[in-house]
Structure 1
Amino acid sequence: MSSRQTVEKIGFILLGTIVLSFGFYNFYFLNHITEGGVLGFLLLLKNLFGVHPSMASIIIDFSLLLLGYRIFGKEFFLYSLFASFAFSITYGMFENIGPILPAINNSLINAILGGLFVGVGCGIIVNTGCSSGGDDALALVIAKKTSLSITKVYILMDGIILLLSLTYLSADAIFYSMIASTLSGKIIDLFLSHTKGSLRLITA
């Protein structure tokens, strides 16, 4: 990979994490909408124990990405780790700035907008051939150790996180969270369908 390609790849990863963090904070966290996977788990830790996502994401993602290192190699690991650090920094930035947009008192609109931003942000990142977090590495390990397909593993992981989120969210909030999670997943799939180097295509 040339220096120019490396710079472009880093630039797209940064762009993706900014879009992801913006949607994650302004539409998910501020409106009590959650996600599946690591993103949803970060919100769970934040709301139950006050653990800041900007710090927890580094620890959790690093641990899970170590699993992906053995399967996808050094380049995948390093760029994915960079994406995790970038998310931590950009989320902390938006958290310090506070709400940017006027409050939208409509859960459906917040879920749709949140799903769009998170989906596009993650999609930009996976389009570079790395991961926006440790979800993919964990899903691969589970699929390898069981008879479950990758798709079923993702559904299972998201379902568990959303069920646990009932400890601090209402059933209505979980419903809108499912809408947001489904929409973001569909958008990411659009990116993945055009990305030969993406993790999900490799493991499909």
Structure 2
Amino acid sequence: MKLFFKKQGQVMIGGICQGFGMGLFLFPNAIPSGGGAGIAILLNYFFNLNMGLALWIVNFSLMLVGIKFLGKRFFLWTVFGITITSSSVDFFETYFMIPDRLIVYDLMIGSIFLGIGVGLLMRSNVSNGGIGVIAIIISHYRDILPGRPLFFINAMIFIITAAIISWEIFFLALMSQWISTTVIDIVCRLDFTKTYRLDWIRKS
């Protein structure tokens, strides 16, 4: 029971940090937070799907993959984490506003908090949704930190999306991913909890 509440607290803090970084700093500058959003943009572009629906389809499809490889508990905890993150994004977008923005500062601060949030989620074997599921699966089977596969998969999706739609925000998105995935690996290396292990055990 103690481990359950510790994991719950860590997932909540991770979701709030991620939502803070995205809702207050990245999204107001139209900087994509990950490859899942890039895939959703492509679905919207080719099939004229609503962005919210497209993003839900991407996240849900990848979470189904997560169930197969990482178990049902992974799915349930990921849904919980995504709910906390989405609620936090909405809260910070609605009730907070930064005057006289500087995009460089927003990019750095938003990406750092995004990385902290996603790192805390991944320490708990919980994905932030989207491409994070694939990164955890690769990390699980290759015994590596999740930041590197997350960066390269997202970068490929950004390149494809930019080539088809627009190159305007490609470099901002890529820089954000480099900062956030570096922070993710730093958070995953920290030894502030005895229960953290990199060789996640599948639990069904």
Alignment TM-score, normalising by the size of structure 2? 0.73
Q: CA deviation at 1:125?
A: 1.2
Q: 1:19 to 1:186 in 2, by over 3 A?
A: same
Matched residues, percent identical? 25
Could you tell me how far apart the structure 1 residues matched to 2:148 and 2:6 are?
33
Which residue in 2 is equivalent to 1:196?
A: 197
Which residue in 2 is equivalent to 1:10?
A: 8
Secondary structure at the aligned position of 2:71 is classed as helix
Could you tell me how far apart the structure 2 residues matched to 1:155 and 1:196 are?
21
Which residue in 1 is equivalent to 2:173?
A: 177
Residues 1-204 of structure 1 correspond to what in structure 2 (within 5 A)? 2=1, 4-41=2-39, 44=41, 51=50, 53=52, 57-95=55-93, 97-104=94-101, 106-139=102-135, 154-163=150-159, 164-165=161-162, 167-168=165-166, 170=168, 173-194=169-190, 195-197=196-198
Tell me, yes or no, if the aligned pair for 1:58 and 1:88 is still in contact at 8 Å: no
Secondary structure at the aligned position of 1:103 is classed as coil
Could you tell me how far apart the structure 1 residues matched to 2:22 and 2:59 are?
16
Q: 1:151 to 1:189 in 2, by over 3 A?
A: closer
Could you tell me how far apart the structure 1 residues matched to 2:162 and 2:129 are?
19
Tell me, yes or no, if the aligned pair for 1:126 and 1:191 is still in contact at 8 Å: no
Q: 1:142 to 1:196 in 2, by over 3 A?
A: closer
Tell me, yes or no, if the aligned pair for 1:34 and 1:165 is still in contact at 8 Å: no
Q: CA deviation at 1:107?
A: 2.5
- RMSD, aligned α-carbons: 3.3
Unpaired runs of 5+ residues, structure 1, are 144-149
Tell me, yes or no, if the aligned pair for 1:22 and 1:91 is still in contact at 8 Å: yes
Q: 1:126 to 1:154 in 2, by over 3 A?
A: closer
Could you tell me how far apart the structure 1 residues matched to 2:174 and 2:56 are?
25
Could you tell me how far apart the structure 2 residues matched to 1:115 and 1:189 are?
13
Tell me, yes or no, if the aligned pair for 1:123 and 1:191 is still in contact at 8 Å: yes
Aligned partner of 2:128: which letter? Answer: S
Q: 1:7 to 1:19 in 2, by over 3 A?
A: same
Q: CA deviation at 1:168?
A: 4.6
Unpaired runs of 5+ residues, structure 2, are 140-145, 191-195
